[in-house]
Amino acid sequence: MLNVTLIGFGAIGRSICARLQGSASVRVTHVVVRSQRLAEVQMALNQLALDQMSGAVAAAQAVTEVPADASLVLECAGHEALASHVAPALARGTECAVLSVGALAEPGLPERLADAATQGGTQVHLLSGAIGGIEALAAARLAGLDEVTYTGRKPPSSWAPAATASTTENVPFSEGKQAVALVPHAQTAIILEASAREAARLYPKNANVAATIALAGLGLDATQVRLISDPNVTQNVHEIYAKGAFGEMKIEMRGKPLADNPKTSALTVLSALRFLNNRASSLTI
């Protein structure tokens, strides 16, 4: 049995816990949350255990810190958790997996996590989350990459913070420039063209995919990102283009949202489950 400590109990954390209840190979033993949520989360965890057919599944414990004896930590809480919980756990020698990869666009944070893992003699795993093709991109990097571009296409409502003015034209914006002239429900518009690091800074709630692609490929400053508001799409559309010594790669994904949180991709939860199942299995792919 693989015992897992989960950081966070939002839509992703709840879905992971629910899907793992009754698993014969993976068990969530603790869930790390803020102190003001302890009672609420413990009640939810108890109910998940009771909902099992047998009624014999032990409930995970809600805690405010990663237990000192934790063997594997899965983070799904957001960017702040990497500094407050993941880095200290790594330094103690606890293996960690991270879903909030966008946080690593912060200068120095990837190195801080790597140093903590080295200090603890363990590893930190950056999970692919809502995007596919990451293993192929990382493999292609070994031969040398010349270009990697990520295009994110979402409905206008997903880009609400940038949709503040009244032009009806499609306006491309130069590198590092955020759109200020965009009709939310009129026409397709490029709202940002920038490096992955700049895209993560300007759109932190949409940073995970761009940062994951960048860290697998050319890095945060050399990976180009284009964000598009498109009233003709109802799903989040992710496109990767890469070329180099390996050849050329084009990937398009249209992800369905998590049932209880339309802003989160269902594939994010599934990528975490795949990682945990692989850690518990003798045959992995």
**CB 187, CB 168: distance < 8 Å:** yes
User: Is the pLDDT confidence value at 181 over 60?
Assistant: no
pTM of the model: 0.87
What is the reported pLDDT for 53?
53
- Name the more confident of 159 and 28: 28
What is the reported pLDDT for 255?
83
What is the reported pLDDT for 12?
93
What is the rounded distance in angstroms from the CA atom of residue 52 to the CA atom of residue 18? Answer: 10
- pLDDT bracket for residue 155 (50, 70, 90): confident
Per DSSP, what are the bridge partners of residue 228?
153, 190
Per DSSP, what are the bridge partners of residue 28?
4
Could you state, in order of their start, the residue ranges of all structural domains in the chain?
A: 2-126, 134-256
- Name the more confident of 264 and 125: 125
What is the per-residue DSSP string for 67-94?
Answer: -TT-SEEEE-S-THHIIIIIHHHHHTT-
What is the reported pLDDT for 55?
44
What is the reported pLDDT for 169?
35
What is the reported pLDDT for 58?
74
- pLDDT bracket for residue 49 (50, 70, 90): confident
CATH of 2-126, one of 3.30.70.1230, 3.40.50.720, 3.40.50.300, 1.25.40.10: 3.40.50.720
User: Is the pLDDT confidence value at 127 over 70?
Assistant: yes
Q: What is the mean pLDDT of residues 197-218?
A: 90
Using the 8-state DSSP alphabet, how is residue 165 labeled? S
Active site residues: 238
What is the rounded distance in angstroms from the CA atom of residue 118 to the CA atom of residue 123? Answer: 8
Domain 134-256 in this protein, CATH class: alpha beta
What is the reported pLDDT for 271?
95
